[in-house]
Amino acid sequence: AQSVTQPDIHITVSEGASLELRCNYSYGATPYLFWYVQSPGQGLQLLLKYFSGDTLVQGIKGFEAEFKRSQSSFNLRKPSVHWSDAAEYFCAVGGGSQGNLIFGKGTKLSVKP
Amino acid sequence: NAGVMQNPRHLVRRRGQEARLRCSPMKGHSHVYWYRQLPEEGLKFMVYLQKENIIDESGMPKERFSAEFPKEGPSILRIQQVVRGDSAAYFCASSPMDRGDGNTIYFGEGSWLTVV
C-alpha cells in the first residue's frame, strides 16, 4: 500500500540549531517526493521537490532534502533554524501520472529562543 | 500571477445545511484537486478534476459530497446535509496541463468549515 510516515509528531529545537525531519515512504513506482510547510490557519507552501537526478535537492528558506532509495526516505534538513521556521511540515509522495498526492500526518516544529 | 484562490476562507453551517466551497486554479492550470484536513491529521485526497471531467474521485465520501469543475467558472465542492464530522479544512490545489514540472501541485489557502 502507498503510504508516507513521519515518525515525529512534534519536535522542538533551539534557534540556530540544526534540524532534520524524517520521512519514509512506501510507493510501488518511481516516487515524486515533496515537502510542504503550513503555518497555523494557512495553506501549504511548497518547500522543495524531488523527481529525478541529484538526490540532494535544495529548496526555499534554506531547506534541503536527500532522497535515499535504499532507505525509502526523504528527510528534510536545515543547518540553522530560525524562529520563523516554527510551523507544521508535511512530506508527500506521488507519481507522475497520478493526480493525487499521499501525505504524511505532519511534524510540528517548535523553535525555542 | 495569482495563486490558487479559495472562498470562502471560513464558513459556518448548521447541521443539515449545505456548504459550497469554491476554487479558482492558478492561471494556466487545468487540473484541480480537493483535499480535506481533519484536526491533527495530514491532508487526505478527495477528488481530482479537469474541466468538465472527474478524473479520480476515489477519496470522496460516497454520500453528500460532490465536486464539479465547469467549462467556465471555479471548481465547486458541495457538501449536502452537513454533519459535525464534516468540520475540517478543505484545500484546493491545481497543476498545469503539461506536467512539465512533474506532478507539482500548488495549494490554496484553504476553506475552514465549521458545522454547529
Residue B29 reports pLDDT greater than 90:
no
Residue B105 CA neighbour count, 13 Å, CB half: 32
Give the integer Cα–Cα distance in Å for A100 and B92.
12
pLDDT digits (tens, 9 = 90+) for B67-102: 999 999 999 999 999 999 999 999 999 988 655 555
Residue A67 near residue A59, CB atoms below 8 Å: no
In percent, the amount of chain A with pLDDT more than 70 equals 96
pLDDT digits (tens, 9 = 90+) for A58-92: 999 999 999 999 999 999 999 999 999 999 999 99
pLDDT digits (tens, 9 = 90+) for B5-15: 999 999 999 99
Write out residues 13-52 of B within 8 Å (CB-CB) of A.
31, 33, 35, 40-45, 48
Tell me what the mean pLDDT of segment A14-26 comes to: 97
Residue the block writes with cell 486554479: B25
User: Which of the residue ranges A24-33, A62-71, A103-112, B24-33 would you say has the lowest mean pLDDT?
Assistant: A24-33
Q: How confident is the model at residue B39 (pLDDT cuts 50, 70, 90)?
A: confident
- Which of A99, A100, A105 minimises the CB distance to B41? A105
Would you call A90 and B43 a contact, using CB atoms and an 8 Å cutoff? yes
pLDDT for position B34: 96
- What's the whole-number average pLDDT of chain A? 91
pLDDT for position B100: 53
Write out residues 33-52 of A within 8 Å (CB-CB) of B.
34, 36, 41-46, 49, 51
Cα A20 to Cα A80, B41, B76, B100: the distances in Å are: 10, 21, 38, 30
Nearest-Cα residue of chain A relative to residue B38: A105
User: A95 in contact with B at a CB cutoff of 8 Å?
Assistant: yes
Q: Are strands A10-14 and A107-112 parallel, antiparallel or unpaired?
A: parallel
In the structure grid, which three cell numbers stand for residue B78, read together? 458541495
User: B106 in contact with A at a CB cutoff of 8 Å?
Assistant: yes
**B66: closest CA among B17, B1, B18, B13?**
B18
Residue A108 reports pLDDT greater than 80:
yes
Q: Give every CB contact of residue A60 below 8 A, 6+ residues apart in sequence.
A: A46, A47, A48
